[in-house]
Structure 1
Amino acid sequence: MGEVLWTALGRLPRGAGIVFRHYGLPDRRAIYERVRRIARARGLVLVLAGSPREAVAWKADGAHGRSPHRFAARPLLRTAPAHDAVEQAAAARHGADLVFLSPAFATRSHPGARALGPVRFGLLAGRDRLPVIALGGMDAPRYRRLRALGASGWAGIDAFTGPDSQGIGAAKG
């Protein structure tokens, strides 16, 4: 992982969010705690991929996943992934506050995955009132294009960690 994560956190604008996944790392909790300290100091929202119970225990601002989010011990931001209409509807049914819809475009993190493209993304984004965050091959110009089709914001990995990342200031819409 090196310095990439820490550099990316420094590029996020105040009020942006982080979904902390990093599954399977033996030092996952220690890395999370370092991310949490940075998030608090910089005014970033920190969502833990996992159950609402785990998110509460780890003092996250929210929980990310497909499980029902209704029964947390304290209010949490609830986010879910979706790749199609079925998963998007399930996210709404399970109480998600927003959905990460992906892959909007071809992405290095999922080689060979069929991208939604602007038309299918727009059709899905307009299906219900659940805010949709565009994910997959995203950058600021692509977000401007998808915002007109219903994207409420955008997320990325390479946009914040790659050599061409610009210290993004448009991660939320």
Structure 2
Amino acid sequence: MPACQPLRKPIPRIWLMTDPRLGDELLASIQRLPMGSGVIFRHYQLDATQRRKLFAKVRRVCAKRGHIVFLAGDGATARAWHADGVYGRRRSASLHLHSAPVHNAREIAAAKRFRADILFLSPLRATQSHPGNRPLGPVRFKTLAKMCQPAKVIALGGMNRAQAAKWPCSLVHGWAAIDAFRTQD
């Protein structure tokens, strides 16, 4: 899977955001995703060597399942690690797909200036990842989602398949989660 090749798949509607809370469940969670999903690899807490090794494992599982994988960070590293795209706040001309996290109108405007293709808008609902953050709620989320266009909007924050089904595809392209893909204890 060479880097910097045009993505020949549609932009996924379902995404897993990696998180240290997944622990040993990470690769199994990726395997449970529907074929052709997306993965945003974060794991910022690891040193560079550990992070790259784990990313390589994730990338192999993603390739077998037909998933795409974006690396959170900078475009140069994403390109060197053969990611399908980058997840970050700055545009990388070297990768064909760029996604960015957005939480408010100012961040949306910045992401649109650097022509992000996919915007992960959050938090729609309360989340275990950021327990103190106030969710946007449906009205504010809808307003901000409209501002994101023409970029693809991915809803994030307390999301699961049932919550995602409440939003029209004309406004929200898809959804992302962590806990929705964890095995139940």
Higher relative contact order (CA 8 A, sep 6+): 2
Distance 1:39 1:4 in 2: 15
Deviations 1:128-169 (A, max 9, x none): 3111100000011111113367111000000001518xxxxx
What residue number does 2:161 align with? 140
Deviations 1:18-44 (A, max 9, x none): 000101313111111000111111100
**Residue 83 of structure 2 is aligned to residue 63 of structure 1:** no
**Residue 123 of structure 2 is aligned to residue 103 of structure 1:** yes
Question: Residue 163 of structure 1 aligns to a residue in which SS?
Answer: coil
What residue number does 2:10 align with? none
CA shift, 1:110, in A, is: 0.3
Q: Which amino acid aligns with 1:6?
A: L
Aligned pair in 2 of structure 1 residues 149, 121: CA closer, same or farther (>3 Å)? farther
CA RMSD in angstroms comes to 1.6
CA shift, 1:68, in A, is: 2.5
What residue number does 2:45 align with? 24
- Consecutive unaligned residues of structure 1, counting only runs of 5 or more, are 165-173
Mapping of 1:1-173 within 5 angstroms? 2-26=23-47, 27-69=50-92, 71-72=93-94, 75-127=95-147, 128-147=149-168, 150-163=171-184
Deviations 1:84-119 (A, max 9, x none): 111111111112101000001000100120101111
* Percent of aligned pairs sharing the same letter: 47
TM-score normalised by length of structure 1: 0.87
Q: Which amino acid aligns with 1:43?
A: G
CA contact (8 A) 2:91 2:98 kept: no
Distance 2:130 2:168 in 1: 23
Aligned pair in 2 of structure 1 residues 144, 94: CA closer, same or farther (>3 Å)? same
Runs (4 or more) in structure 1 with deviation over 6 Å come to none
CA contact (8 A) 1:66 1:91 kept: yes
TM-score normalised by length of structure 2: 0.82
CA shift, 1:2, in A, is: 3.8
Paired residues, what number?
161
